[in-house]
Amino acid sequence: EPEVTQTPSHQVTQMGQEVILRCVPISNHLYFYWYRQILGQKVEFLVSFYNNEISEKSEIFDDQFSVERPDGSNFTLKIRSTKLEDSAMYFCASSVEGAPRTEAFFGQGTRLTVV
């Protein structure tokens, strides 16, 4: 069964460092998303991406964040200068059409720890 894969599963980084979280969406999907979940809190929407550009972004997604689809398979989230409060589980998701017209499939997540 096709699935969204994320790497790494766990990333530890020092405050101020740049991190790149990687995702391989399901191959025929066209819409891509990043969500994050701070421990014990809600899953929060960060950004949606379609046709090689950002469709929507939340207020969390400030200038420190960027997304890219560098090739035909990967979808990345970059945090330029990490802060302690960026520590969270980051989920990538993809869908054939813009969710909720079709189901959004989630990856297993990357746990980012900023120390």
- Return residues touching other proteins (CB under 8 A): 4, 6, 31, 33, 35, 41-45, 48, 50, 55-56, 58, 91, 93, 98-101, 103-109
45 or 76, CB closer to other proteins? 45
17 or 55, CB closer to other proteins? 55
7 or 58, CB closer to other proteins? 58
Provide the minimum distance between the beta carbon of 31 and other proteins in the complex, in angstroms, as a whole number. Answer: 6
Task: Give the span between the Cα atoms of 40 and 29, in whole angstroms.
Answer: 30
Provide the minimum distance between the beta carbon of 97 and other proteins in the complex, in angstroms, as a whole number. Answer: 9
10 or 83, CB closer to other proteins? 10
Task: Give the span between the Cα atoms of 106 and 115, in whole angstroms.
Answer: 26
106 closest CA partner among 63, 70, 75:
75
| Contacts for 76 with CB less than 8 Å, ≥ 6 apart | 20, 21, 22, 23, 67, 68, 69, 70
- Give Cα 33 distance to the centre of its chain: 6
Provide the minimum distance between the beta carbon of 25 and other proteins in the complex, in angstroms, as a whole number. Answer: 12
Q: Assess contact for 75 and 66: CB atoms under 8 A.
A: no
Provide the minimum distance between the beta carbon of 69 and other proteins in the complex, in angstroms, as a whole number. Answer: 15
